[in-house]
Amino acid sequence: MTSTGPIIRILVVDDHPLLREGLSAMISGQSDMALVAEAENGEQALQAFRHHRPDITLMDVRMPTMGGIDAITAIRTEFPTARIIVLTTYEGDAQALRAIKAGASGYLLKSMLRKELVETIRSVHAGRRRISADIASEMAEHMADDELTARERDVLAHVAAGNANKEVAARMGISEETVKTHMKNVLTKLGAKDRTHAVVVALKRGIIDI
């Protein structure tokens, strides 16, 4: 594509050097785009954004020090007009919803980068929102579901780590009865038949990480 307008200045944030190299190559192949900076975690991303003020930020979700969703929140708090596209290997609708609520303008699976990245960048730069079709479909399917509260997510994360109710209670400083109540709510909201099923569903949908 021949550039007729201003160059889209891009910040790439991912903790995998090979992926950053691949993204850099894809961007450099476009006459209307330029890579202005790279970062490997959310804290670096915030510093790089402050310094370079990119038009578009490509943001991984799972990174050390500060993850992508926290970084989106931090950047958008300082720069409300920041346009951020999330890149992830993860199809979970709950994670996508958290990213969109944090202020992401796009959400793209890494498996679709070759097909969709360039047009997604141009689309978001033009002020549109872009979400992978598979993820949009998954989000729509669960739109009417009750979201887990932060407390319920914490309880479930402890359960996913292999802790019994008594251990979860001790770790969280709450009673065992309260843990049981939270888990009962979790099973109902996720449509799960038992604790193990709840963990599987929550991991698949990106509600919790382990």
Q: How far apart are CA 153 and CA 149, in angstroms?
A: 6
User: What is the CB neighbour count within 10 angstroms for residue 8?
Assistant: 21
Q: What is the pLDDT of residue 134?
A: 75
| Structure confidence by residue, pLDDT tens digits, 58-75 | 999 888 889 899 999 999
- Chain mean position to CA 131: 12
Please give the pLDDT value at position 111.
87
Question: Which of 37-41, 83-87, 133-137, 149-153 has the weakest average pLDDT?
Answer: 133-137
pLDDT digits (tens, 9 = 90+) for 138-177: 776 666 567 888 899 999 999 999 999 999 999 999 999 9
- As a whole-number percent, the residues of the chain with pLDDT over 90 amount to 65
Print the SS3 string covering 192-205.
Answer: CCCHHHHHHHHHHH
Question: Is 90 a residue whose pLDDT tops 80?
Answer: no
Residue 179: CB partners within 8 Å, gap ≥ 6? 155, 165, 168, 169, 172
Q: How far apart are CA 64 and CA 150, in angstroms?
A: 21
